[in-house]
Structure formats: structure tokens, C-alpha cells
Amino acid sequence: MNKRISINPNVCNGQACIVGTRIPVHQILGMFANGDSEETILSAYSSIEKEDILACLEYASRF
């Protein structure tokens, strides 16, 4: 699995999240699905980087 995505049963009920945050992968994917740009996502979540967004997309492509 990508080193930027973690699954921990004690964080967000075991949902895949960006490491070091409580931001679930599905939240980032949902924002893309709703038409939000990468820039919008990064400004909404100042604790993540472009590489985190790419990791979310990579994670989703595997499942």
C-alpha cells in the first residue's frame, strides 16, 4: 500500500485515510467527483500535499 495512506481501526472507524490526518480517502475522491479541482482540495485541507491526493487516486484505482 502507498506510504501516504493508512488503515487503522482506531482512526475513522478503520477507513483508509491520509497518513497523519483523519481525512478519509473517500472524502478526497468525493470532492473530485463533485468537480473540485486539486487546488480547491489543497486549500480546503492545508495539512495535505499534492502527493497525498495522488496517493488517494492510486489507492482508489487498486480497489
Q: What is the CATH number of the domain that holds 41?
A: 1.10.10.10
Tell me, what's the pLDDT at 63?
80
Tell me, what's the pLDDT at 21?
96
CB 18 within 8 A of CB 56: yes
CB 40 within 8 A of CB 27: no
pLDDT digits (tens, 9 = 90+) for 33-60: 999 999 999 999 999 999 999 999 999 9
Domain, as residue range, for 45:
5-62
Burial class (CB in 10 A: 0-12, 13-18, 19+), 26: middle
Q: Retrieve residue 33's grid coordinates.
A: 467527483
CA distance 28 to 11: 16
Say how many domains are in the chain: 1
CA distance 45 to 10: 21
- Does the pLDDT at position 1 exceed 80? no
